[in-house]
Each structure stands twice: as structure tokens, then as C-alpha cells.
């Protein structure tokens, strides 16, 4: 994938000091299918988003009513600690108030490294990840974050912490960078263990194409042993931001399973745009949902969680910001990049539903999800 979740989850949370009403339950009566796939231990997540007509609290409630039971929140290190020891605890405080009372479990995606590159306090800019000063600072950052989340910690709803998002975008095929990151990650994981205990699983997120590249796959393999779970983002993209056919999903899931043997797999982001600019369509996006669930049925014992991106399309203003963040302004693929980011939602920015949302409902009902 070539985008990140800058506002997915957390930045929109900043406006939600409203208490969320209780989520609706399933209907009564026995509608369980006589045969076929069932939910089992699988977990459905969703990138919950607010739009002008739907508050974050409302959007969260909608997701839970569907059967979603996981949401992820992304925190950039540089934004929460602009300079060493100068913590901005505003967002952690909101997280600590809102999420402990809700139905879903929480994933924290901590981003000292994100798709566009490093996100370090200004004092550490340019330093390698295995620099003792960088490691010590991130350990202190984790300690401060833990101290800001007493209610969430006590609730047991914080289940996963991922260190780094789409790390391969910056690590590339550089063995030295991968080695530095592994040293950093191992120290960070040890600190998470010391603060949160063994109940919180720790991963580090890569993009799916890593598994298709012999060099990067070999470098990632050196990190896999240190991971509690193998965490990927999955968008079947070509290099020009057009989409690969939905028919490739089954083979992609087979590759995940074989390449990551011995590790439980999470798809922390999983999506497909609806724009014709990306060689897609509303119907094709809906077919992607079905293809994902069909492949997930096959590998239900390997893939524990899939987090669907996104609940709603984002605004043109947000897309503009991402174009700048990723340095895509003026790029030959800028138009396709914009269309990709602007049409990933299961519903439009005006809250009207796309066929993909109804398809998701149907796939969940077929598996008696949430019963």
C-alpha cells in the first residue's frame, strides 16, 4: 500500500468527548445457516471515521452494530512528543475517557516510523533507530503513554500495540536499516511487555507487496521471530495506483499463509477503492468484500483479524493533505493516488451507502457473525 492512516481513527477522535450510546444487538430468532462458514475466533475491525453528518460516536456505534469488535488508533511519535520530554497528552487523555466503556477492543498503532518515513522528536531527527538515545527516548515515550491510559489499561480492551506502520516503505531493501529497526523494535517490545504485560500482543506493520519481493521478504524474515503476530496492510495495488483484479485475492491470501507459516496474521488495513480512475467500480469494490471473506474462510485458522478500510470516504481537503504528506503533488500518478484515497470508503462522504457496505452485511449474515 502507498497510503497511511494519518487521520484514520485517532485524529478524528479529538472531537469526540460525547458519550457513545449502547450498540444495538443482533435480531432475535434462529437464523443460523445449516452449513457453511462461520465466524469462529475471527475478529472484524474497521477504520471508523466521522463525516459532517455523522459524529465519531455515531460512526463507532454503526460499526459495532455491524459486528465490528476492533478499532485501531494511530499515534505519531513526533506529534505526541515534538521535542524530547515535551509530551502532548491531549489525544491519549481522550482515548482513556472514550474507549474503556465501548464494545470494541483497541489496537494502538504507534508510529516512530510511518509510510512517508521517520517520525521522531525534533532533537532526534536524522539519528538511526538503533541509536541508544533514540531507544531510550522511545522507552520513555511508552512509559508516559502507559501512564496516560489508566482506565483503558484496567479495562482490558487494549489488546494490541504495533510499533511502526508500513515500515518497509522506508526500510526498503537496505539491510542496515532493517537491522537498526530490529534492534529498536526488540527494545520497544520489551518495554511494552514491562508496562502492559503479556496480555498485549506486539507487532510491526508491513505492506503486503513485501511478501512478493524476494529481497524485502528475506529482510522481513529477520524480524518475524521477534513479532507476536505478523501484521500487514492489504490493498491489491499496481505501482500506478490502479487495482489488480479481485480474482487475485485468493492467491494473495495463500501467499500470506505460506510466507508467514507459524505466525498468526492480522490485516490491519484491508481495502479496495471504488473509483473508475483506479480501474475499479462500485460493483468491483463490493466483489472485493466477497472475495476477502471467501479467502478468509479458507485461512480462518491463520488470519485472526481483518480491519476494513474505510467506513466512509474522506474529504477532498484530507486527500489534498495526504498528497502533500506523501510528496505526490505533480507526480505522474497523482490523479490515481487522489482517486484511490478518496474512494476507499464503504460509504460516501455524504453518508450515502455504496454497494460494498450492503455486501459486507450479507457476508456477515452468511457467517452468522456476532452470534
Instruction: Give tens-digit pLDDT for 121-130.
Output: 999 999 999 9
| Domains in the chain, number | 1
27 within some domain: no
134 within some domain: yes
Q: Which three cell numbers stand for residue 73?
A: 488508533
Give the pLDDT confidence score for residue 35 in this predicted structure. Answer: 59
As a whole number, mean pLDDT of residues 85-95 equals: 98
Is residue 22 predicted with pLDDT exceeding 60? no
Ramachandran angles phi, psi of 158, nearest 5° = -80, 105
Residue 36: pLDDT band (50, 70, 90) is confident
33 within some domain: no
SS3 content of the chain, % helix, strand, coil (to 5): 45, 15, 40
162 within some domain: yes
Q: How far apart are CA 145 and CA 141, in angstroms?
A: 6
160: which residues sit within 8 A by CB, 6+ positions away? 105, 106, 107, 108, 200, 201, 202, 203, 229, 266
Q: How far apart are CA 74 and CA 301, in angstroms?
A: 27
356 within some domain: yes
As a whole number, mean pLDDT of residues 182-211 equals: 98
Give the pLDDT confidence score for residue 342 in this predicted structure. Answer: 98
As a whole number, mean pLDDT of residues 120-144 equals: 99
253 within some domain: yes
N- to C-terminal Cα distance for the chain? 33
* Nearest by Cα to 115 from 89, 76, 149, 59: 76
Report how far apart, in Å, the C-alpha atoms of 9 and of each of 50, 90, 159, 291, 356 are: 9, 15, 16, 25, 20
1 within some domain: no
* Nearest by Cα to 13 from 95, 97, 121: 95
Is residue 11 predicted with pLDDT exceeding 70? no
Domain limits for position 275: 39-366
CATH number at residue 60: 3.20.20.80
> What does pTM read for this prediction?
0.91
128 within some domain: yes
Q: Which ranges in the chain belong to alpha helices (H)?
A: 10-13, 56-66, 77-80, 90-98, 132-147, 150-155, 168-171, 175-196, 214-224, 249-259, 282-298, 316-325, 334-342, 355-366
Amino acid at each position: 500500500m502507498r497510503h497511511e492512516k494519518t487521520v484514520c481513527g485517532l485524529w478524528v477522535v479529538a472531537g469526540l468527548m460525547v458519550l457513545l450510546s449502547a450498540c444495538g444487538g443482533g435480531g432475535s430468532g434462529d437464523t443460523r445457516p445449516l452449513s457453511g462458514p462461520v465466524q469462529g475466533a475471527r475478529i472484524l475491525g474497521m477504520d471508523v471515521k466521522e463525516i459532517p453528518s455523522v459524529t465519531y460516536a455515531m460512526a463507532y456505534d454503526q460499526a459495532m452494530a455491524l459486528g465490528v469488535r476492533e478499532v485501531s488508533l494511530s499515534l505519531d511519535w513526533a506529534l505526541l512528543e515534538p521535542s524530547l520530554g515535551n509530551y502532548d497528552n491531549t489525544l491519549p487523555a481522550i482515548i482513556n475517557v472514550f474507549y474503556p466503556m465501548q464494545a470494541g477492543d483497541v489496537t494502538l498503532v504507534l508510529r516512530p516510523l510511518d509510510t512517508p518515513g521517520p517520525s521522531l522528536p525534533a532533537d532526534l531527527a536524522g539519528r538511526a533507530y538503533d541509536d541508544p538515545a533514540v531507544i531510550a527516548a522511545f522507552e520513555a515515550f511508552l512509559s508516559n503513554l502507559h501512564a496516560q491510559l489508566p482506565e483503558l489499561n484496567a479495562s482490558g480492551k487494549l489488546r494490541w500495540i504495533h510499533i511502526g506502520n508500513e515500515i518497509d516503505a522506508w526500510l526498503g531493501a537496505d539491510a542496515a536499516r532493517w537491522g537498526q529497526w530490529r534492534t529498536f523494535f526488540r527494545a520497544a517490545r520489551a518495554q511494552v511487555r514491562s508496562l502492559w504485560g503479556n496480555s498485549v500482543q506486539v507487532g510491526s506493520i508491513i505492506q503486503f507487496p513485501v511478501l512478493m519481493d524476494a529481497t524485502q521478504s528475506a529482510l522481513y524474515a529477520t524480524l518475524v521471530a521477534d513479532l507476536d503476530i505478523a501484521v500487514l496492510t492489504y490493498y491489491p495495488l499496481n505501482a500506478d495506483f490502479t487495482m489488480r483484479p479481485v480474482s487475485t485475492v485468493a492467491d494473495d491470501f495463500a501467499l500470506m499463509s505460506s510466507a508467514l507459516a507459524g505466525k498468526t496474521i492480522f490485516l490491519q488495513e484491508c481495502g479496495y477503492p471504488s473509483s473508475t480512475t483506479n480501474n475499479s467500480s462500485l460493483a468491483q469494490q463490493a466483489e472485493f468484500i466477497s472475495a476477502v471473506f471467501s479467502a478468509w474462510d479458507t485461512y480462518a485458522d491463520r488470519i485472526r483479524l481483518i480491519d476494513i478500510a474505510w467506513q466512509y470516504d474522506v474529504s477532498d481537503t484530507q486527500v489534498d493533505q495526504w498528497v502533500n504528506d506523501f510528496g505526490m503533488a505533480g507526480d505522474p500518478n497523482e490523479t490515481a493516488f487522489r482517486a484511490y484515497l478518496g474512494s476507499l470508503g464503504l460509504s460516501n462522504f455524504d453518508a450515502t451507502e455504496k454497494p460494498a457496505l450492503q455486501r459486507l452485511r450479507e457476508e456477515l449474515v452468511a457467517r452468522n457473525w456476532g452470534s
